[in-house]
């Protein structure tokens, strides 16, 4: 049974009630229940205090340059990422390999090699963890999903015609989600059907239909994230995150009261990939000429992450190329906790291919992998460009 259409309709029915309940900007968070849905309206993220500060010392460092190449990560891979195990260990997809580390950072298993046969990979792009620390990895080039045990043992592989899943695509009951893009016609906004699968690859339900991140423009910052029993949907055309259960029932809405910010034509080209529509569309794609300054607005946020403690982290766009990146945390009830600024890595020197001169460019922003308690895992790059999964305190 396809539930997606029912989810969309129910959201439209509730919209008027939510709008009436949230007409003013709150100075403090407000908690409401509207037609059985838990609604939290928070103050603007811009007003959130910085309550988390990144510790100077590194508690655990996995990666960097090694004596032997086979012991190093593929530092050029744009899909290098990892997930935490329940005991503090870490699993990393490394393009054609899966690397398993214990809580102390020691590598305990390496699985896979380049190829198309059983146990081989052509491009691992997504990874998530479900019940019993079981891993689910998606090879985007082979369109294949692989199930791994905690120790790296490969349980099964199967091909899929679906679009794969984003990181954190696993529920905690041994099921996971994949996405099927619904192609638009005319000026319609593309949508994605979130499908519910078991560990044998059987699709047994459709959770819902949500904004797609597959087209140019603001929707490239849309996210579908699963953590624990819940699925979180972020649509940066709206300053909110919606939470659903595994059946597609809307259970909560976390709203932020930030106002739209004007976007210049250069900013729209850089961040949205091309021309955008007027401000009322909040950056939706448009094939017409690039707008004049102020004719478009920024997406309300750049992305979301849900950590091991069920805290929601909302990622904002950096103010400029040298500024840190701000993340604002909300507790499991949807109430704002405070902000964290992640500083950039070391300034880098690169050769300009046109002038053949060395140029100094800003350091790279770290990738937020996970957080648990007062510790955070970041994927950082050193001055050599080598990747490190570093665990630090957040005070």
Instruction: List average pLDDT for each run of 10 residues in the chain, which is 395 residues long.
Output: 36 44 61 94 95 94 93 91 96 97 97 94 95 95 94 93 73 92 68 90 91 64 90 90 96 95 85 54 38 65 95 93 94 96 84 79 90 97 91 93
Phi/psi of residue 63, nearest 5 degrees? 125, -155
pLDDT at 230: 96
pLDDT for res 364: 86
Q: Are 275 and 289 in contact (CB under 8 A)?
A: yes
Predicted local distance difference test score (pLDDT) of residue 248: 94
The two structure tokens encoding residue 335: 């109430």
- Contact at 8 Å (CB) between 203 and 212? no
Residue 66 is classified by DSSP as: -
The pLDDT, as a whole number, for residue 322 is 86
* Residue found by looking up tokens 């930030």 in the block: 258
The residue with tokens 């819902």 is: 208
Distance in angstroms (rounded) separating the CA atoms of residues 4 and 206: 6
- pLDDT at position 155 is 96
Cα separation, 348 vs 222, in Å, equals 30
Which pLDDT score, from 0 to 100, does residue 189 have?
67
Phi-psi map region of 79: left, alpha, beta (phi>0 left; psi -120 to 50 alpha): alpha
Q: What are phi and psi of 223, to 5 degrees?
A: -135, 145
**Cα(362)–Cα(319) distance, rounded to whole angstroms?**
13
Tokens of 205: 């339900």
Q: According to the model, what pLDDT value does residue 167 have?
A: 59
pTM of the entire structure?
Answer: 0.86
pLDDT of amino acid 319: 85
pLDDT at 184: 66
Quickly count: other Cβ atoms within 10 Å of residue 233's Cβ. Answer: 22
């Amino acid at each position: 049974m396809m539930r997606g259409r029912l989810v969309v309709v129910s959201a439209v029915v509730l919209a008027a009630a939510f709008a009436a309940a949230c007409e003013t900007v709150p100075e403090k968070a407000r908690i409401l229940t509207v037609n059985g849905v838990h609604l939290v309206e928070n103050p603007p993220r811009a007003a959130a205090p910085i309550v988390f500060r990144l510790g100077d010392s590194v508690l655990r460092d996995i990666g960097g340059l090694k004596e032997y190449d086979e012991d190093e990560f593929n530092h050029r891979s744009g899909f290098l990422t990892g997930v935490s195990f329940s005991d503090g260990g870490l699993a990393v997809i490394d393009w054609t390999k899966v690397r398993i580390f214990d809580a102390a950072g020691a590598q305990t298993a390496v699985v896979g090699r380049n190829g198309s046969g059983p146990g081989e990979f052509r491009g691992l792009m997504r990874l998530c963890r479900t019940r019993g620390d079981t891993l689910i990895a998606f090879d985007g080039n082979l369109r294949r999903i692989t199930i791994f045990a905690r120790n790296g043992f490969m349980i099964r592989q199967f091909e899929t015609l679906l679009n794969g899943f984003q990181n954190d695509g696993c529920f905690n009951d041994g099921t996971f989600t994949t996405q099927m893009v619904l192609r638009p016609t005319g000026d319609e906004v593309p949508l994605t059907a979130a499908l519910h699968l078991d560990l044998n690859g059987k699709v047994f339900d459709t959770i819902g239909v949500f904004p797609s991140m597959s087209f140019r423009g603001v929707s490239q910052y849309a996210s579908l994230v699963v953590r624990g029993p819940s699925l979180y949907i972020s649509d940066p055309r709206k300053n909110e995150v919606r939470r659903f259960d595994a059946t597609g029932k809307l259970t909560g809405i976390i709203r932020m009261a930030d106002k739209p910010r004007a976007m210049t034509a250069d900013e729209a080209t850089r961040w949205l990939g091309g021309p955008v529509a007027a401000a009322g569309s909040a950056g939706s794609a448009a094939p017409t000429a690039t707008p004049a300054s102020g004719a478009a607005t920024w997406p309300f946020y750049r992305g979301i992450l849900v950590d091991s403690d069920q805290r929601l982290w909302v990622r904002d766009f950096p103010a400029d190329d040298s500024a840190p990146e701000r993340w604002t945390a909300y507790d499991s009830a949807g109430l704002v906790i405070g902000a964290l600024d992640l500083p950039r890595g070391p300034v880098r020197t690169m050769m300009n291919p046109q002038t053949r001169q060395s140029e100094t460019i800003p350091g790279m922003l770290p990738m937020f992998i996970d957080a648990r308690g007062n510790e955070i895992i970041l994927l950082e790059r050193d001055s050599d460009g080598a990747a490190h999964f570093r665990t630090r305190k957040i005070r």
